[in-house]
Amino acid sequence: MTHTKHGLRLDLRSLILVLCALTALVMLCASYFASYRVQRQLLIDHALEANRVYAAKLASITETFIASALRQLAFSAGVQANQLADADALQAETDRVLHQGMAFNSTFVVDAQGILRAISPATLRHYLNTKVQSPGVQEALHERRALVSTPYLSAANNLVVALSQPIFDSNGRYLGYVGGSLYLRERNILNSLLGEHFYKDGSYLYVVDRNRRLLYHPDSQRVGTVVEGNALIDQLATLDSGTRQLTNSQGVPMLAGFATVPSARWGVVAQQPLEQTVAPLSRLVLNVVGTSAPLALVGSLVLWWLAMTIARPLWQLAAGARSMDRAGTAERLHRVPAWYFEAAELKRALLFGLNLLQERIGRLNRDAQTDPLTGLGNRRSLDFSLSLLEAEGRAFSAIVLDIDHFKRVNDGHGHEVGDQVLQRLAELMRRCCREGDLLCRTGGEEFLMLLPGASLEVAAAVAQRLRVAVQDTPVEPVGAVTVSLGVAHWPGPAGSEPGDALSKADRALYSAKQQGRNRVCVEGL
């Protein structure tokens, strides 16, 4: 610096120092601002995607529940078709459906004229033999198909969604329907599936039908109301799944992920407040600024190095968050050196979320490929194994079997005893097979065994051993039961597919039944 008659002037060195200081300050401020914007967008994107995945998972769970409930009703409709004239039998079957899986708040049978023929629980039986005029009943009578109704007020003044299956006699004549109801304003299976999925940061989810009516909401007072002023819900009927940043009907900015339940055309929306999502970011940036600002006096190089050191775990964690669905993500997150509190908490939360997501997806996959009664594989498991064997070009033998006269067991002893017979057969199948063989339940009393690498002779011996074991193993109170079995092998003629072996085994099974049952027939012999 020099002094002149014109006043104080800065020399070149001072100007350079001032310029460097200003440049460092501007760069520091700019870097913090850019970091804030990037991290904020990352948090928003991650929250949106997490909500979408979350909504899709719950929509899938709800779809699975509806499909399972409709299957229960379809089975019951087949039973009720043969006993509409027997009021006691109608009521007993209606009670069984209600208590078997606790899927419904009430179950009922309505005939083709709209007369309530049976209902459970007992507190509603004063409506028996009356003509029901509620919208859900009229909708089911008009549609005459498997149906998930729109919400309506029942005769008991409950806000209800009803699931129903039509009843037809052996000539195809419509006799009425079997139904099960969910009371939306009371405790029900939908609440159990969805009600425990919330967080303390303001996140929540809700379910709406195609008419924008709330079917589930954490605030039970809003269930049954029609949502107005929400752009996402207005468009939900035309969308499949996705994310949306919006302002809800209460005027709060939200980050929403949504998915639909195809069979019922319901929308599941998981959302959290934008303010709560980005709130941790402000505290994080202030901590970083407070730590690194004194070091800026030492020099821009030290400041740059320290900022990179602090930010690196966050960048690595954010990269892990963006690749949650990729293999090896957990291992990469474990290697992140989260040496300060915020990074350690984010790392712990990401690892916990990743483990939880993988566990639940794994459980859903296992449940989707397993028969719940016998623990054997289902048709999905069978289709997957067939495609794998075909891809590997690996030969196999197939044994198709079913229980002889199984309907007599159900009719004579009840479905609970019938279930015990099915479970005992599954145990005997496990004992008679090798490790690595695939055992499936493909229908009510129909089973299948895939024996990879087994010749037709070996498979026939296995089938014969199983037949004898079933014949010699009585099941109380039924006594001895028998099975008929058909055996086939793949590959067969040139150009054959694995499914052809199953068809041949089916034909062999049919031949065994024609020849008197309790026997093994081998395709081609």
Active-site amino acid positions: 445
Helix axes 379-392, 498-514, angle to 10 degrees: 120
Token pair belonging to 420? 């015990």
CA distance 446 to 486: 12
CA distance 59 to 262: 9
Q: What one-letter code names the amino acid at 184? A: L
Beta partners for 490? 396
3-state SS assignment for residue 226 = strand
For 286, phi then psi, to 5°, come to -65, -40
Rounded CA-CA distance 163/65 in Å is 11
Phi, psi of 26 (to 5 degrees): -65, -45
Integer angstrom CA distances of residue 130 from 111, 120, 151:
11, 15, 21
Separation in Å, CA 404 to CA 199, 425, 482, 483: 53, 12, 6, 5
In this structure, what is the dihedral angle of CA atoms 258, 263, 264, 266, given to the nearest 10 degrees?
0
Closest-CA residue to 401 (of 245, 272, 518, 523): 518
300, 24 Cβ separation under 8 angstroms: yes
Number of alpha helices (DSSP H) and beta strands (DSSP E) in the chain = 14, 18
What type of residue sits at position 113? Q
CA distance 322 to 324: 6
CB 375 within 8 A of CB 367: no
CA angle 354, 359, 364 (to 5 degrees): 130
| Residues 303/24, Cβ–Cβ less than 8 Å | yes
